[in-house]
Structure 1
Amino acid sequence: MAASTPHPFDPITPEEIQLATKILQAAFPGVSLRYKKIDVQEPIKKEVVPFIEAERLGQPLPTRPTRLLQVLFHRLDNGAFYKALLNAGTRSIISAKEMPKDIQASVDADEMIEIEQLCLNHPAVQAEVAKLQLPAGVTVCNDPWIYGTDDPKETRRLFQCYMYIVATDHPQNNHYSTPCKFSPVFDGLTRELVRIDYLPGGHDAQITETQPWKPVETIQYAHDLLQEPLRPDLKPYIVQQPQGASFDVQGNVVSWQKWRFRVGFNSREGLVIYNLTYGGRNVFYRLSVSEMTVPYGDPRAPYHRKQAFDVGDVGFGITANQLSLGCDCLGHIKYFDGYRSDSKGNPVHLPNVICLHEQDNGLQHKHTNYRSGAATVVRNRQLVVQMICTVANYEYIFAFIFDQAANIELEVRATGILSTVPFDNHEFGKTVPWGTNVGPGVMAPYHQHMFSFRMDPAIDGFQNTVYYEDSVAMPEDENNPYNVGYTTEQTVLRTSGTASTSVDRHRVFKIRNDSRINPITYKPIAYKLQTAPSQMLLASPRSYGAKRAGFATQPIWVTKYKDDELYAGGEFTNQSKESQGVEKWVQRNDPVENEDVVLWHTFGLTHNPRIEDFPVMPMERISVMLKPDGFFTKNPALDVPQSSQSFNKSTLHPEPVACCGPAKGKL
């Protein structure tokens, strides 16, 4: 394959971004365009499967699938929003469709900075800031937020700017410690100030106009600004692999311990795992975090609209961090870069947005023969593919973790800084039931982080069935004379729809291939999903928050595969009135037994902040597991070498030397 010819699953190249810009500018002569996203359109599955199957089997390759590019852009002469589909091979436009006025594009990286500066420089905002009577060396900053929805007739592209007071003597000063009580709203297209909202400071919606600021001490998190000394007793922890890593990387193809897959990256989902095989057998076609939403539980206006869709509104690829050696990932590291477009259609290089490394996670398996004392010990080496995203105040760490026993884990960690609001809590004992006081005049509202894990299975083939299995007590009858027996019950999901989790019934969801029977168990081969038991969306079904995030109302969704159904919350989430995602797709009642199916798992964190979560939050962790279930005829990690001191080279902690008394081991 020529180096200049991308694989169907390869991320977009800078040349393709430039090509897309050139094609569209020629199609709209004399019109200035603002580009929201330029990315590779997901390849047509029926075209790409024969191609990747030929690759897997070492057969001659069929015709290469069509390389498509998707572009979202605004015309700046009239503000119209377009979605275009381009053929990169023929350098032509397949379609360029103007979207309805009530559909808003996602935010581009340049736009956030521009709105922030627009807000700071607007005369009305500056007049409001003057009322604060800030002392020298103190100014304001703002976080532009996606506006949300509370009016079905609203079609303007709006931003709500939350204002904060910040000292100028250090760039790391924590402005989230000192929120202001006014919030400008701007039109993102016309750049007009729509209004200034005054924020409530108590239990109810009562507001007051801006008053002079009463200085409070900032609660800092940056090491340079901490008043207490750093811990002096932490010794270096050095991860060394003197012979290098056990993985092999060719372009975006990773091979490790019988696993083989392609690392994908796009501006919306960020990290994507493609064409995942184990020992040459198909396991999953595609894995990704397809959407997330963060609804806030503060019932007062304007906070009732505070709900981020961090994938659809902005994009994990847009917000992906440049990872640092020795900080974000430890050990022998391989980095993957990415590209996105800026608002002018120029390619932007994103170095080190994904890291690949191995880690030790304790024991894989062990047994000691108590008769002989002989022990078989194998350590659990894992391969980690990781991305970190900063979405304004929060950081999210996403890691796909593979092990030698053919298990797959999606681990999500949340850290960063709480999105705070002003609150008049100077009076002792004053609190609200929907938030936590985290400092003088500052409150952190309750909120949820809801993720959608999209799994496109290929369990030894592309025709699969999803079912769930419950563990239940046997009836007290002649088959269970001692009343201790239990068995399992299987429920097949035959049409597209939803299902609930059940801890009480130890419910697990399985994806099986009915055409492949395990010769030992006599059951179809399968992978099982160990869900992350989570509280679903708390907002009322009548709220816009719930209507916009239908995926977050049920933990399990099963749909029949369609090429354009990638995002659980629908394609366009910014200021959406209701979702056009999975809750719409399951209504087709498609047959999903022995079909090309997609399994979606909603899980998350209900975050009622602790004061210990401020000024920067310790990691909150949640994970989902995919495990083989009858896929093999025995433990697939039996061939992993025995663990030994000569291999691992551990060291002993020195024992203290006694200054007096009997020698060690003597009475």
Structure 2
Amino acid sequence: MYGADRDSTPDTHKFIQAFLYARAPHNHPDSNQYAFPLPFSPVLDIFLGKVVRIDPLATGGKEDGLSYHTGGKKPMAHCVENEYYHELQKTGPRKDLKPLHVVQPEGPSFTVIDGNSVSWQKWRFRVGFNYREGMTVHDVRYDGRPVFYRLSVSEMTVPYGDPRSPYHRKQAFDLGDAGAGSTANSLSLGCDCLGMIHYFSGWLSNDQGNPIKAESVICLHEQDGGIGWKHTNHRTQNAGIVRARNLVLQSILTVGNYEYMFAWMFMQNGNVELETRATGILSTSLIDPGKTSEWGNVVSPGILAANHQHLFCLRIDPMLDGPINTVIQEDSVTVPQTERENPHGNAWRLVKTPFETSGFANADPLANRCFKIVNESVRNPISGNPVGYKLVPQPCQLLLAGLDSVVRRRARFAEHHIWVTKYRDGDLWAGGKWTNQSLAEIDGVHDYAARKERVRNQDIVLWHTFGMTHNPRVEDFPVMPVEITTLSLKPADFFEKNPALDVPQSRQSENKSVLVRDLLPSVAKKVAEPSEGAYCKKSKL
């Protein structure tokens, strides 16, 4: 999408700025085109339906500044094949990896009825899907108690940091421009999710307005979550231990060169987590041989990967024991030793600041800052505090673009980690409803918060901006290892005790773990014998 320039107006024609690539000489259809970027860029006028100009692309480095036409007559001669597709890699896959199977002999513990209603242990919720947000989660309840009305990833912007025109226009809004639903993968067994899988399909429309079924765009499955809780009584040596089990609801998008994986995880302890994984291929440009750039990193001969950011916005519509909720900022603050209550200087107190009117705040890990969604009219019978859930915001770097830049004006939601707004129908889009070639974020979360509406003891929405600043590494090419970000919503005085206490004890009779030496004696003997004695002594201790 053609990001707007400073001199654009609402009447400016809609454009697509095309960045072109070639295939490797073998011309395989799955060739990694991003290893062969072309040094020119056509601009298509959507209104006129034709190419209106061709822009040259700078290929110089630090030595050339913003100069163009530095590549000579054969600007791509130094580019080489750099393939990710398994059939095209010159070395075969590693041979020492044995199969790992996820087996559930009695079937899954979840059920799905009415097409989208999921029940799993004490959790109940419905699954939604639309062209823009993709996967959404509705009417989330734990043991019958309402927790969240609606959960979704509202927006994502990817601004690039190369100031050389036309690269300065690169600012994708992957949901507002492309659509998380429109770009959702059709998932398949044994590839994207392991174990016993239930798939949800959705509906999209083509350019004629006709419905098209989006097959298997969301997968549902269970996975082991490691130890859920454990304690060994040091007097009796008896251990209480449970293995955690998580329910995973996942969708994967392919937006041009990048992949994004969103997974909602529902946990036995009442936690709800959003795991975001970024992978795929870097957006690349050509650079002359032997040159480097401060706007990115050379990741392959002739290939510059520009610095950029991935900034998401999570939309949380709570209903903790009802729709009337409050957001409280909670900081852990040192009590001065000069105060009478703290003569030894070891104390700190919690400073709780409720949002009275709509507005914003930022993460502060040095203050252990969290944001609690509470129902002030319902008190926990043990602590006396209002029942709640807390979000510990990810303290990521926010939007780096200049204060007066078009990039910043288009993505005001990325200026702060936390926004609190009063619920209104239709307030769904953090970056505004119309992001394609926008000049500013209009009717987005910045405008929602600017209303200065009363939000204490109201029907509210909490928004969280999170993400990463991606300064590329050579290891990110030709395909990027997943970069993982996890956000947690945790019960805070919502229950009267650990809600996972009733998870069954972890036992070998159920888990059926196997000693390697019993399964493969010849292999185990070779690996274990040299250190077996030392290992046993440590185990006994």
> What is the Cα-based RMSD across aligned positions, in Å?
1.8
Amino acid in the other structure paired with 1:163 = L
SS in 1 for 2:276: strand
* Cα distance in 1 between the residues matched to 2:192 and 2:433: 31
How far 1:657 moved relative to its partner?
6.3
* Cα distance in 1 between the residues matched to 2:51 and 2:219: 42
Report the equivalent of 2:520. Answer: none
Please tell me whether residue 643 in structure 1 is matched to residue 485 in structure 2: no
Please tell me whether residue 563 in structure 1 is matched to residue 420 in structure 2: no
How far 1:371 moved relative to its partner?
0.5
Please list the CA deviations of residues 299-358 of structure 1 after superposition, one character each: whole Å capped at 9, or x if unmatched: 111111100000000100000001110110001100000110110122111111000000
CA change 1:648–1:207 in 2 (3 A) is same
1:486 pairs, out of 348, 351, 359, with 348
Q: How does 1:490-569 map to 2 (within 5 A)?
A: 490-569=352-431
Report the equivalent of 2:469. Answer: 606
Report the equivalent of 1:101. Answer: none
Report the equivalent of 2:19. Answer: 162
SS in 1 for 2:193: coil
CA change 1:252–1:369 in 2 (3 A) is same
CA contact (8 A) 2:82 2:300 kept: yes
Please tell me whether residue 370 in structure 1 is matched to residue 256 in structure 2: no
Report the equivalent of 1:574. Answer: 436
How far 1:660 moved relative to its partner?
11
* Cα distance in 1 between the residues matched to 2:286 and 2:528: 60
How far 1:530 moved relative to its partner?
1.6
Report the equivalent of 1:152. Answer: 8
Q: How does 1:258-297 map to 2 (within 5 A)?
A: 258-297=122-161
How far 1:434 moved relative to its partner?
1.6
SS in 2 for 1:261: strand
Please tell me whether residue 460 in structure 1 is matched to residue 321 in structure 2: yes
CA change 1:323–1:631 in 2 (3 A) is same
CA change 1:513–1:226 in 2 (3 A) is same
Amino acid in the other structure paired with 1:510 = K
How far 1:564 moved relative to its partner?
1.2
Q: How does 1:398-413 map to 2 (within 5 A)?
A: 398-413=262-277
Report the equivalent of 1:340. Answer: 204
CA contact (8 A) 2:2 2:169 kept: no
Please tell me whether residue 240 in structure 1 is matched to residue 97 in structure 2: no
CA contact (8 A) 1:449 1:606 kept: yes
* Cα distance in 2 between the residues matched to 1:155 and 1:323: 39
* Cα distance in 1 between the residues matched to 2:533 and 2:403: 70
* Cα distance in 1 between the residues matched to 2:446 and 2:43: 31
Report the equivalent of 1:50. Answer: none
2:84 pairs, out of 205, 214, 221, with 221
Amino acid in the other structure paired with 2:245 = R
* Cα distance in 1 between the residues matched to 2:180 and 2:47: 23
2:32 pairs, out of 169, 174, 184, with 174
CA contact (8 A) 1:149 1:576 kept: no
* Cα distance in 2 between the residues matched to 1:149 and 1:641: 60
How far 1:487 moved relative to its partner?
1.4
Please tell me whether residue 231 in structure 1 is matched to residue 94 in structure 2: yes
Equivalent pairs counted in the alignment come to 518
Report the equivalent of 1:68. Answer: none
How far 1:585 moved relative to its partner?
1.4
CA contact (8 A) 1:148 1:307 kept: no
TM-score by length of 2: 0.93
How far 1:531 moved relative to its partner?
1.3
CA contact (8 A) 1:182 1:210 kept: no
* Cα distance in 2 between the residues matched to 1:482 and 1:499: 33
Amino acid in the other structure paired with 2:312 = F
How far 1:227 moved relative to its partner?
1.0
* Cα distance in 2 between the residues matched to 1:659 and 1:362: 24
* Cα distance in 2 between the residues matched to 1:150 and 1:305: 10
CA contact (8 A) 1:534 1:605 kept: yes
How far 1:475 moved relative to its partner?
2.1
SS in 2 for 1:166: coil
CA contact (8 A) 1:181 1:210 kept: no
* Cα distance in 2 between the residues matched to 1:304 and 1:244: 52
SS in 2 for 1:165: coil
Between 604-613 and 475-484, report the one with greater CA deviation.
475-484
Q: Which has the higher contact order (CA 8 A, sep 6+)?
A: 2
How far 1:152 moved relative to its partner?
2.6
* Cα distance in 2 between the residues matched to 1:188 and 1:224: 37
* Cα distance in 2 between the residues matched to 1:659 and 1:610: 37
How far 1:151 moved relative to its partner?
2.8
Between 576-585 and 546-555, report the one with greater CA deviation.
576-585
Of all paired residues, the percent bearing the same amino acid is: 52
How far 1:189 moved relative to its partner?
3.0
CA change 1:549–1:645 in 2 (3 A) is same
SS in 1 for 2:21: strand
Between 595-604 and 181-190, report the one with greater CA deviation.
181-190
Q: How does 1:35-74 map to 2 (within 5 A)?
A: none
Please tell me whether residue 207 in structure 1 is matched to residue 68 in structure 2: yes
How far 1:506 moved relative to its partner?
0.3
Please tell me whether residue 443 in structure 1 is matched to residue 304 in structure 2: yes
CA contact (8 A) 2:43 2:53 kept: yes
Please tell me whether residue 653 in structure 1 is matched to residue 509 in structure 2: no
* Cα distance in 1 between the residues matched to 2:450 and 2:68: 44
Amino acid in the other structure paired with 1:478 = R
* Cα distance in 2 between the residues matched to 1:191 and 1:150: 24
CA change 1:146–1:401 in 2 (3 A) is farther
